[in-house]
Amino acid sequence: MKKTKFIILLLFLLVIVGIVLISYAQFKKETLKDYRQTKESGQSLIGMLSMPSTASLLSGSGNFLFRELSQNALSNKIAYCIIHDAQRKPVLLFSPANIDQQVPDIIINKSLLESGFIMQDFFTTDGRELIEFAKPVFADKKIAAVVRLGLKVPDNNFFTYENLVLPSQIAFFILLALVFGYYWTILSFKHLKTIKLADVGTPGIKPGKGDVKDIIENLEVYLSSVKEKTSEAESRRQQLESRLKISQFENKQFFNIFNAFDFGILLIDNREMVFFANTYLLDLLGQSAEDLINSSYDEVIEHEDLKAFILQRSSAEGHLTSKHMNITFEKTDPGQFFQASSSNITDAEGSLFIRLIMVVNISREKESEKAQQDFISHIAHELRTPLTNIKAYNEMMMDGEINNAEMQKEFFNTINDETNRLAKLISSILELAESEMGQLTITKDMVKTDWLMEGCIEAVEAVAKEKNITIERQVPDNFPKVKGDKEMLKSALINILGNAVKYSPESATITFAIKEADDMVVFEINDTGFGMDEKDLPHIFEKFYRSENEDVVEQTGSGLGLAITAEIIKTHDGFIEVQSELDKGSQFTIKIPKGDLFIG
Amino acid sequence: MDKKKTILIIDDDVHIRRILEIKIKHNGYDTLTAKNGKQGLEIIQNQKPDAVISDLNMPRLDGKELCLLTNPLKKDRPFFTIIITARINPYEQKWIDEMQDTIFMEKPFSPSKIVDALAQYFEKTRPES
């Protein structure tokens, strides 16, 4: 409000100054006009007075002249009129108010001494402004007289009618404009009175009479409040903009991280729109990000199972639930299995704001699970087969179905053989378990290789003799020593030597050699037996693996022997290699670090 | 009098083949034997046995592969199949359920139970006279 008052005051002052200036100009104009008129009048009058006839007036008809002058239209302007004779003495004097006596000498002298027309502007000793006109009167080419005429410069009063007419008109129009302006403003602002300013929550709004002052005051308060709020809004906008930028940056960073994951991620917002899908998932779906982002998942996801899973999870009750479903994708290999899981992510108030769908490749887990299941199945098969025989043969005997003595003997033998098979199998499984735990449990001693060789041959000798198989020894001059568990090492070598006997035809020869190579002791077992198919070689050390070769299938076996051997050799920091050709035989090479390395 | 039913026994274990052969013959059936699935398939195709008793875990065409190959044949000529297995993997249960006229029996089985199952099947499928 103070500002408004100041502006109004300033305007008022400007108007006053304007009026004064205009009045002053008018006054100056009038003054100049009077001055000029006085000069012109003086010039013409002095012209008349200086006619040659004026000289004749000196003789005594001066009174007539002055009477004429006093009756002249300019008489009120004439201060004095003096005619000097040839000697410059005043001879005729017309000075109604004796003003002539106040004329400075310098003016008089100049008028009298000049021989031409003189006009001098001066102030009398009492401060009156006069113009003196002087002109000599010539007679017989000589100066016969000098006429001096003093005219008053009119006193131009500032406050005259002429001076005040124009400013008054201007002032009138300004006043008129103000009155009209005032009412126009009132009329213009009239509707503003209906605005309930208090409703906009602006403090400081006062109920008024509805005049301009109130409206302007209220508007001023309101506008200042609007300005304040605009400023607040601008500040908030800037804050939000910077937060948005930070958020966009963070989102981008997150998305880059998500894209680096080796599992699929799909984010669905609370409007059921796809918010993000990482490259892993896009590859699986065979769709592009443009296809999915900002579209309803129901419309854009082409994978029916995944879509059904998302729908199923969206209708599931409760938050923070996490369930999964196994799915496959056309684009991947048939053996690839995936698991989709869903998590509802809620904000601090517990409202769902995004759903996270993850698609993870579980092929390895599936494979591992299958391998585990297969292993259990193998063990079950291997254990239950002899058990089945024992049970079945025994049941038949008990039921009295076998009366023939020969057959009864066969049955008892079978039961006995199968019991031994079962016992051996259990031993093998235990041995395998022990060797797998070997790193932790075995105690290593110095083992003589001649002792190992003889022990192994002794173990298989009986069976070899039955098949008329010869075992040839190839030995070094000095038997080296190895460091290890002697029973385990013996068992490993017996498995190899036993297989050589088992899978060799009758009357075959097997070679058992011990050599030294660098820091290792090398055991080589060569046979000329059935050999192995190329396709079997990569699998022979796997648990329960058995070749489908007719000659192998004929022989009983658990498929654990070579797996146990490989595990024992590994435990002793050794290596096992095999070379084999079908129908020609096999060569197993086992390398174990020398014992003296350990004792330095 | 019905014609003697022929039962095919497929197992890589000689003792199981032997005991089943004796038990089944004692119960009035004819028997055929095979050492593996491949041999068994040939016999099924050529000699058309009335029932097949097969081990699941065998070299050269295992019991599952044999079932998958022979199941379509059952549309024209139904026959009974008993799968003997040490253990059914959870993921393998599904395919057994999908096979026609097929049951499985866990090891160690009782030979009497096998012949009971055979008798039950043949009784059920005997044409009304």
d(CA A248, CA A245): 5
Q: Pick B107's closest partner by Cβ from A373, A374, A384.
A: A384
* CA dist list (Å): A221 to A205, A217, A232, A594: 7, 6, 16, 102
Query: A186-195, A379-388, A576-585 — which is least confidently predicted?
Result: A186-195
pLDDT of residue A315: 67
Instruction: Supply A185's token pair.
Output: 């403003």
d(CA B16, CA B55): 9
pLDDT of residue B72: 92
pLDDT of residue A76: 72
d(CA A535, CA B59): 14
Confidence of residue A599 (pLDDT cuts 50, 70, 90): very low
Determine phi and psi for B55, rounding to 5 degrees. Answer: -70, 155
Which secondary structure element, helix H or strand E, spans residue B32, and what is its range? Answer: strand B30-34
Q: Is pLDDT at A217 greater than 70 in this prediction?
A: yes
CB contact under 8 A, A391 and B12: no
Amino acid found at A53: S
| pTM > 0.80: yes or no | no
Instruction: Supply A156's token pair.
Output: 């131009």
Q: Pick A381's closest partner by Cβ from B35, B86, B90.
A: B86
Mutate to test the interface with B, among A366, A369, A381, A416 (most CBs of B within 10 A): A381
Which region holds residue A559: left if phi is over 0, alpha if psi is between -120 and 50, else beta?
left
Choose between A394 and A325: higher pLDDT.
Answer: A394
- Extended strands (E) in A155-303: 264-269, 274-277
Cβ partners under 8 Å of residue A76, min gap 6 = A152
**Which residue is listed with tokens 């196994």?**
A326
Instruction: Supply A268's token pair.
Output: 């669905």
Q: Pick B108's closest partner by Cβ from A382, A384, A548.
A: A384
The stretch B50-66 carries a mean pLDDT of: 89
Amino acid found at A252: K
Domain ranges of chain B: 6-125
Partners of A139 in beta bridges = A142
| Number of neighbours of residue A320 by Cβ within 10 angstroms | 10
The stretch A83-98 carries a mean pLDDT of: 81
| Chain A residues close to B64, C-beta within 8 Å | none
Instruction: Say whether residue B87 is in contact with chain A using an 8 A CB cutoff.
Output: yes
Q: What does the CA dihedral A73, A74, A78, A82 come to, rounded to 10 degrees?
A: -70
Amino acid found at A361: N
**Which residue is listed with tokens 């059936």?**
B29
Determine phi and psi for A301, rounding to 5 degrees. Answer: -80, 120
CB contact under 8 A, B13 and A395: no
Query: A32-36, A196-200, A274-278, A331-335 — which is least confidently predicted?
Result: A196-200
Q: How far is A550 from chain B (nearest CA, A)?
A: 9
Which region holds residue A350: left if phi is over 0, alpha if psi is between -120 and 50, else beta?
left
Instruction: Supply A587's token pair.
Output: 């060569």
Q: Is pLDDT at A600 greater than 50 in this prediction?
A: no
Q: How far is A329 from chain B (nearest CA, A)?
A: 20
Amino acid found at B86: A
Q: How far is A418 from chain B (nearest CA, A)?
A: 9
Q: In the 8-state DSSP scheme, what is residue A296?
A: B
Q: Do the bridges between strand A470-474 and strand A509-517 make them parallel or antiparallel, or are there none, so unpaired?
A: parallel
Q: Is pLDDT at B40 greater than 90 in this prediction?
A: yes
Instruction: Supply A209's token pair.
Output: 């009479």
Confidence of residue A121 (pLDDT cuts 50, 70, 90): confident
Q: How far is B90 from chain A (nearest CA, A)?
A: 8
Report the residue of chain B nearest A399, measured CA to CA: B112
CB contact under 8 A, A383 and B59: no
Cβ partners under 8 Å of residue A17, min gap 6 = none
| Number of neighbours of residue A376 by Cβ within 10 angstroms | 13
Tens-digit pLDDT profile for residues A14-51: 888 888 888 788 888 888 888 888 888 888 888 887 77
Which secondary structure element, helix H or strand E, spans residue A474, and what is its range? Answer: strand A470-474
- Is residue B105 a contact partner of residue B113, using CB atoms and an 8 Å limit? yes
pLDDT of residue A85: 83
Q: How far is B109 from chain A (nearest CA, A)?
A: 6
Q: Is the peptide bond before B108 cis (omega within 30 degrees of 0)?
A: yes
Tens-digit pLDDT profile for residues B75-118: 989 999 999 988 777 767 788 888 999 998 988 999 999 999 99
Confidence of residue A72 (pLDDT cuts 50, 70, 90): low
Query: A56-65, A171-180, A479-488, B109-118 — which is least confidently predicted?
Result: A56-65
Task: Indicate the SS3 state at residue A285.
Answer: helix
| Chain B residues close to A392, C-beta within 8 Å | 16, 19-20, 23, 108-111
CB contact under 8 A, A389 and B87: no
Burial code of A396-407, b = ≥16 C-beta within 10 A, e = fewer? beeeebbeeeee
CB contact under 8 A, A553 and B59: yes
- Is residue B110 a contact partner of residue B38, using CB atoms and an 8 Å limit? no
pLDDT of residue A19: 81
Q: Provide CATH code, domain B6-125.
A: 3.40.50.2300
pLDDT of residue A100: 83
- Is residue A514 a contact partner of residue A522, using CB atoms and an 8 Å limit? yes
Tens-digit pLDDT profile for residues A122-147: 888 888 888 889 988 887 778 888 88
* CA dist list (Å): A195 to A30, A112, A182, A188, A204: 56, 87, 21, 14, 15
Tens-digit pLDDT profile for residues A377-386: 778 888 888 8
Q: Pick B110's closest partner by Cβ from A391, A402, A414.
A: A391
Helix axes A363-398, B111-125, angle to 10 degrees: 100
Determine phi and psi for A114, rounding to 5 degrees. Answer: -75, 150
Q: Is pLDDT at B39 greater than 90 in this prediction?
A: yes
CB contact under 8 A, B109 and A392: yes
pLDDT of residue A598: 47
Q: DSSP letters along A377-395, please?
A: HHHHHHHHHHHHHHHHHHH
Query: A48-62, A166-180, A181-195, A239-253 — which is least confidently predicted?
Result: A48-62
pLDDT of residue B48: 93
Instruction: Supply B83's token pair.
Output: 């799968």
CB contact under 8 A, A396 and B90: no
* CA dist list (Å): B97 to B63, B67, B68, B91: 14, 11, 12, 12
Q: Which of residues 335-394 of A touch B (CB under 8 A)?
A: 370, 373-374, 376-378, 380-385, 387-393
pLDDT of residue A429: 83
Q: What angle do CA A209, A210, A215 make, to 5 degrees?
A: 125
Q: Pick B86's closest partner by Cβ from A384, A395, A418.
A: A384
Instruction: Supply A232's token pair.
Output: 């607040």
Residue B12 CA, distance from chain mean position: 14
Tens-digit pLDDT profile for residues A559-570: 788 888 888 898
Confidence of residue A596 (pLDDT cuts 50, 70, 90): low
Q: Pick B86's closest partner by Cβ from A380, A396, A553.
A: A380
pLDDT of residue A187: 80
Q: In the 8-state DSSP scheme, what is residue A468?
A: T
Tens-digit pLDDT profile for residues A482-503: 988 888 898 889 989 999 998 8
CB contact under 8 A, A385 and B112: no
Helix axes A161-189, A212-260, angle to 10 degrees: 50
